[in-house]
Chain A
Amino acid sequence: MNAPTLYGLCAAALVGIGLFGLILHPTPLRKVISFNLVGCGTFLFFGVAARRGAGAGFAGDPVPQALVITGIVVAFAATAVAVALILRMLEAGVATMDSRPEPPDDLSP
């Protein structure tokens, strides 16, 4: 087994653990952390693609690393939005999100 294969397997494991948590954990914060795990696995995949030289045939391909940096920024922004929403939910007194979907607020004054 060479290094890219090992990293690829690690990436697959991270994605698997993350997806498991994303689907099965009831608390929002754990879901957000699980999303970050899936994200980490994905970024590692890009690293593997770079190391393998991708399809272009370079020994080490710089393009995936540029993509990963953008991806990390996007994942960071996503986490920030999610945490802001969770904080607002806690302020409003909602602890979990697995209760049955409720109809929206009555619009009557």
Chain B
Amino acid sequence: MIPAQVTAPDGLLLILALFLPAVSLLAIFVLGLRRPERIALPTLAGGLVVALIVALQVGHSGQAATYRLGGWLPPLGITLRADGLSAALIAMAALILFVVAIYARGNFGSEPDGAESRQPMVFWTLLLGLATALNTVFLAQDLFSLFVALELLTFSAVPLVSLEGSRETLRAALRYLLFALSGSVLYLIGVALLYGAYGTLDIASLHQVTRADRATSIALGLMIAGLMAKAALFPLHLWLPPAHAGAPAPASAVLSALVVKAPFFLILRLWFDVAPQPQPAIAGTMLAALGAVSILVCSVLALRQARLKLMVAYSTVAQVGYLFLVFPLVMGSEAAVPWASIGWTGGVLQLVSHAFAKASMFLAAGLIAQAMGHDRIDDLGGAAQAVPISLAAFALAGLSLMGLPPAGGFVAKVMLLTAAVATSNWWIAVTILAGGLLAAGYVFRVIGKSFAEPAKGAPPRNAVARSSELAVLSLAAVALMLGFLPLQPFAYLAIGQGGLP
């Protein structure tokens, strides 16, 4: 069993990370229906401060921060825990949410006359709901709390898709909801089976008792299949492009950058912390094969899109595919533990760098569409003069997707490539290279069209807010700076790994 451990003072910050956005969400209903951003923005800023303190403390103490609700120990009690990976992801989510909130003041700022309006109110409350849900996914330590967190994430994400209320976005939202619900119900069946087999849902306890028997395999298979539908892995990706392309730009940014990462994070935990060791090689290869098909098919589809936002959305499916390449790369490696292998580190870095790059890309696409009045790629001529900063951010984020130096995506993809070669998974190496080329194709297509001469009689450009442009550029800059990380497993991410406190 797990040794009793008193809650360290830094554990209280974990509660704050969940508590702050949830309370502020309620406060909007009570206090601020007219000016919801006045409550939401400071909350997200506070959330960023809390996340950074947690991340620094975890790094400083060199061990995971733990909080046990009411002092109860698992399996009866509920534990919140931030290891190195969780702390890094919380900081990532908080930073992206804060920058998106700054950007969204332009889209969803309240009316100057103080009139109450539906869209801003809904947007800001859902953004806070997302913040709560993401922090819960990254911190919770038992499979049922994680189910509740996933559902909270779904209920916050789906209405964001249909904010504009047009037919297509409503349809996209409903399709997203049905995929997500099917995924969560499969996950829940798996939870029931695991509970029936082991009598506990605490990840650290399960880590010690799971056996390689049929019930465990079926349970984990159902859970991972359900999470695949939520993470939009081929062939369960059909809901993502219309949903992410139909949402308003700030909503698309958080959906693509953060929401699809939460189910992948859970798959990672199930695979490395819950599944009995060693994991079946065939399952890992199958996940990677689906990831490879995602990369190739959706990159080609991205190349063929006529609209900028749909192109970026298809690119999300392709980039999420890279994450699933991790499993065979880790199993084949010689590292004693997964997080000491270069494949695992590359996967995590791909997750983080794609989050920043894709958030920046969707926001830039939103500004380009706002300035040009449309988002048809073929008619983007003149965009380079109209919104140079946004286009620069788009290009910098594109570097990360392609995997060109010095972007964060470069380091991630080189790590994955090195791991693929080291474990002689040549087909994975070829897929990574082909995916990079295809990404270069679709990014350069947009850049090339934007530098073309504007068509005669083109409508006048609309002005975009400078603060929004700088927000976009700052996200792209972070994606770029990740490229200066060293090409080796990071000690920080390994803090507290292994499913044990």
Does A77 have its Cβ within 8 Å of any Cβ on chain B?
yes
Contact of A54 among B172, B195, B246, B373 (CB under 8 A): B195
- Among B87-95, B162-170, B337-345, B427-435, the stretch in contact with A: B162-170
Is B148 in contact with A88, judged by CB distance below 8 angstroms?
no
Does B470 have its Cβ within 8 Å of any Cβ on chain A?
no
Is A106 in contact with B374, judged by CB distance below 8 angstroms?
yes
Residues of A within 8 A of B36 (CB): none
A49-B196, A70-B148 given as contacts; is B373 within 8 A of A42 (CB)?
Answer: no
How far apart sit A44 and B197, CA to CA, in the bound complex (Å)? 15
How far apart sit A49 and B158, CA to CA, in the bound complex (Å)? 32
How far apart sit A63 and B76, CA to CA, in the bound complex (Å)? 9
Is B197 in contact with A82, judged by CB distance below 8 angstroms?
no
Does B242 have its Cβ within 8 Å of any Cβ on chain A?
yes
Is A31 in contact with B199, judged by CB distance below 8 angstroms?
no
How far apart sit A92 and B369, CA to CA, in the bound complex (Å)? 25
Does B20 have its Cβ within 8 Å of any Cβ on chain A?
no
Contact of B200 among A22, A38, A55, A89 (CB under 8 A): A55
How far apart sit A42 and B258, CA to CA, in the bound complex (Å)? 28
**Interface-central residue, B154, B158, B167, by most chain A CB under 10 Å:** B167
Closest to A99 in B: B171
A52-B196, A55-B199, A78-B151 given as contacts; is B167 within 8 A of A93 (CB)?
Answer: yes
Is B199 in contact with A103, judged by CB distance below 8 angstroms?
no
A46-B195, A81-B155 given as contacts; is B188 within 8 A of A71 (CB)?
Answer: yes
CB distance from A89 to the nearest CB of B (A): 5
How far apart sit A81 and B75, CA to CA, in the bound complex (Å)? 32
Does B241 have its Cβ within 8 Å of any Cβ on chain A?
yes
CB distance from B206 to the nearest CB of A (A): 10
A45-B193, A107-B375, A109-B373 given as contacts; is B242 within 8 A of A101 (CB)?
Answer: yes
Is B241 in contact with A101, judged by CB distance below 8 angstroms?
yes
Does B173 have its Cβ within 8 Å of any Cβ on chain A?
yes
A78-B151, A88-B165, A103-B306 given as contacts; is B170 within 8 A of A35 (CB)?
Answer: no
Is A104 in contact with B309, judged by CB distance below 8 angstroms?
yes
Does A28 have its Cβ within 8 Å of any Cβ on chain B?
yes
How far apart sit A46 and B147, CA to CA, in the bound complex (Å)? 14
Residues of B within 8 A of A57 (CB): 199
Is A82 in contact with B181, judged by CB distance below 8 angstroms?
yes
| Nearest 9 pairs of A and B residues by beta carbon | A55-B199, A49-B196, A56-B199, A54-B199, A45-B192, A104-B246, A108-B374, A55-B198, A92-B167
Q: Which residues of B does A touch, CB under 8 Å? A: 75, 144, 147-148, 151, 154-155, 158-159, 162, 164-175, 177-178, 181-182, 184-185, 188-189, 191-193, 195-200, 238, 241-242, 245-246, 306-307, 309-310, 369-370, 373-375
| 18 A/B residue pairs, CB under 8 Å, sorted by A | A15-B189, A22-B178, A39-B185, A42-B192, A46-B192, A54-B198, A61-B199, A64-B192, A78-B177, A78-B181, A99-B171, A102-B242, A103-B242, A103-B306, A104-B168, A107-B375, A108-B373, A108-B374
Q: Which residues of A does B touch, CB under 8 Å? A: 15, 19, 22, 28, 31-32, 35, 38-39, 41-42, 45-46, 48-49, 52, 54-57, 61, 63-64, 67, 70-71, 74, 77-78, 81-82, 85-86, 88-89, 92-94, 97, 99, 101-109
